[in-house]
Amino acid sequence: MIERKQITRKDFIKGMGYTAASVVAVGSLGGILTGCSTPAADVDTNQSPEWPFTYKKIDPTVAEQKAYKSYFDKGG
């Protein structure tokens, strides 16, 4: 006969806390590691965008078609 170990609510919450902390720690490693890399040679880092951005009127029908197409082309 197999005996099943009973887990207390306190142990369950503690385990979930460890899991959440691990996920956050591993997820933040990517940002830390890429922050140390050098920028690509073809990227001009001294170029800043024009501010304030100029207003361009958008045709709602064209925007709808582009959004619909990009949703399916890029996997939603």
Q: Are 45 and 39 in contact (CB under 8 A)?
A: yes
pLDDT 10s digits, 17-57: 999 999 988 888 777 666 656 666 555 666 666 677 778 89
Q: What CA–CA distance (Å, rounded) separates 63 from 4?
A: 58
For residue 28, CA distances in Å to 24, 25, 38 come to 6, 5, 19
| For range 11-16, the mean pLDDT | 94
The residue that leads in pLDDT, 2 or 10, is 10
Q: Where are the domains of the chain?
A: 7-31
Confidence of residue 63 (pLDDT cuts 50, 70, 90): very high
